[in-house]
A and B are shown apart, each in its own frame.
Chain A
Amino acid sequence: MFNLPIEGEELFVLEFGDIVNYFSLYTTTLFLFATAFIIIAIIARPERQTDIIFGTDAVYTKEVSPDNLRFQRFMAIACGLATLGAVCSGDLFNFCLFTALIGITNIGIVAGVNNRYVLNAAYNYGIVAMVATTFLFGGAATALGSCGTLSIWELAGLGMVPLAAKMFLVLGVMGEGMAPFYIAKAEITRAPGAPYVLMIHVSSLLIFLRVIEIILTV
């Protein structure tokens, strides 16, 4: 596997029975990136949004209640940990599970915002994330049914995984990683509790990079 062009050299192997996670140069880069953003989510204070009434002197600052803050921070860290799992997983089904966990925690991060408009966007994203799991696990199931194994170590470089399974995987990750579109539209980056929303963008970016590596490898 490590003589393929995309991976780089082998650095570390972590065994969980049949699920053997690996750190190559590529996945370690993604792993360190995600770790950095988990640390940011742990130490960052939430942004307090300021509204200025145009033409007057009035300025409003929105407070973030400790309950919402705690919940959003917890979900951001959970999302980061799921991203760590997804980027170093050496197993197709395990990767799909971590990606589904990322989708759920993304909804959780947004659910902490007290804003009807933002929650509506989160609801729409939730529908897409739910439908996407069908494709995600359908892709893994097709790969398992055809090749009889899910281990990326065994499948690497053989080209045994059918094209349909790869298409399903990519579409599934697209659905789960669609959150930034909703976020950008609902302007939640400027909403109260802003730093935790960064984790949604980071996790989407990293699972896209990882699924590209997987479909080029298997």
Chain B
Amino acid sequence: MIRLIGKGFRTFSNWMSTYENLVAVYAVLGIIVAICGIIMVPLITYHEDQIYSKSINRDSPLDPYDRGGVPFTKVDIEAQYPENSPAAGYVTTYLTPFSWFIANNTPFLGTTIVAHPGGILDEILYNTRGLDTIVETSILFAAFAIASFLFRRKE
């Protein structure tokens, strides 16, 4: 009996020590956690007093990025720590002439945020949470550095 358990354990440890199998192990763990997560969805409570709340105007051509407000005046933006962002609310939205043209003629500007530079600056993302955007671009930079190194390597 003990010999059988030992043999089973050796087979298992041999299987585990092959690194190609670690992806499968992680996938099984992921499936278990995802199922647990889905089961726990009814237990997740929604807290009403949220910051970063926004009202969406579905009829606007800028949907869902329409933040309202008048250009060149201060707009009320909720920030977690308003004392750290004294300029919050001044840079609300900025449209290039091309973006303005798309917004006025089609209902699709909201889907083209990445298609043209300088289209829309999101106040929350770029003013109060600026470090996020810096780290995101660092990730892209690291990924491009690796890709170009592998591409240019002589072998």
User: Does A40 reach chain B (CB closer than 8 Å)?
Assistant: no
B49-61 vs A, CB cutoff 8 Å, 1 = contact: the mask equals 1111100000000
Question: What chain B residues lie within 8 Å of A142 (beta carbons)?
Answer: 37, 44
Which chain A positions have C-beta within 8 A of B114?
A: none
Pick the contact of B23: A17, A74, A82, A128 (CB < 8 A).
A128
Q: Give how many B residues have a beta carbon under 8 Å from the other chain's beta carbons.
A: 49
Do B22 and A182 touch across chains, with their CB atoms under 8 A apart? yes
Which of B68-76, B93-101, B102-110, B129-137 touches A? B129-137
A146 touches B139 (CB 8 A): no
Report the minimal beta-carbon distance from B10 to chain A, rounded to whole angstroms. 17
B135 touches A97 (CB 8 A): yes
Q: How far is the CA of A215 from the CA of B51 in the complex (A)?
A: 22
In whole Å, how far is A123's beta carbon from the nearest beta carbon of chain B?
10
Q: Contact: A131 with B40, CB < 8 Å?
A: no
The answer to the question of B127 belonging to the interface, with a C-beta cut-off of 8 Å to chain A, is yes
**Residue on B nearest A133 in the bound complex, by CB:** B139
Q: Which residues of B contact A135 (CB under 8 A)?
A: 30, 33
Residues facing B in A62-87 (CB within 8 A) are 67, 71, 74-75, 78, 82, 85
A84-100 residues with Cβ-Cβ distance < 8 A to B are: 85, 91, 93-94, 97-98, 100
Q: Which of A42-50, A160-168, A189-197, A199-207 contacts B (4 or more CB under 8 A)?
A: A160-168
Known: A149-B50, A151-B80. A101 touches B44 (CB 8 A): no
Do A121 and B19 touch (CB < 8 A)? yes
Q: What bracket does the count of chain A residues touching chain B fall in?
A: 35 or more
Question: Any chain B CB within 8 A of the CB of A16?
Answer: yes
Alpha-carbon distance A147/B45, docked complex (angstroms): 8
Alpha-carbon distance between A7 and B45 when the two chains are bound, in angstroms: 27
User: Which residue of chain A has its CB nearest to the CB of B80?
Assistant: A18
Q: Does B26 contact A (CB under 8 A)?
A: yes
Which residue of the partner chain A has the closest CB to B83? A15
Chain A residue with minimal CB distance to B136? Answer: A97
Q: Which residues 14-28 of B have a CB within 8 angstroms of A? A: 17-20, 22-23, 26-27
In whole Å, how far is B5's beta carbon from the nearest beta carbon of chain A?
24
Chain A 30-69 interface residues, beta-carbon cutoff 8 Å to B: 67
Which of B22, B132, B149 contacts A71, CB < 8 Å? B149
In contact, A18 and B30 (Cβ under 8 angstroms): no
B26/A17 in contact, CB under 8 A: no
Chain B hits for A128, CB < 8 A? 22-23, 26
The answer on a CB contact under 8 Å between B27 and A19 is no
Which listed residue (A78, A124, A131) contacts B19, Cβ 8 A?
A: A124
Looking at the assembled complex, report how far the CB atom of B148 sits from the nearest CB atom of chain A, in whole angstroms: 10
Q: Which of B22, B44, B129, B138 is close to A162, meaning CB atoms less than 8 Å apart?
A: B44
- In the assembled complex, the Cα of A146 lies from the Cα of B46 at a distance in Å of 5
Report whether A94 and B131 are in contact in the complex, using a CB–CB cutoff of 8 Å: yes
Partner of B47 from A98, A147, A178, A181 at Cβ < 8 Å? A147
Shortest Cβ distance from A131 into chain B, in angstroms?
7
- Interface: B85 (CB within 8 A): yes
The 7 closest A-B pairs by CB, nearest first: A148-B50, A18-B80, A16-B131, A97-B135, A17-B128, A164-B40, A164-B37
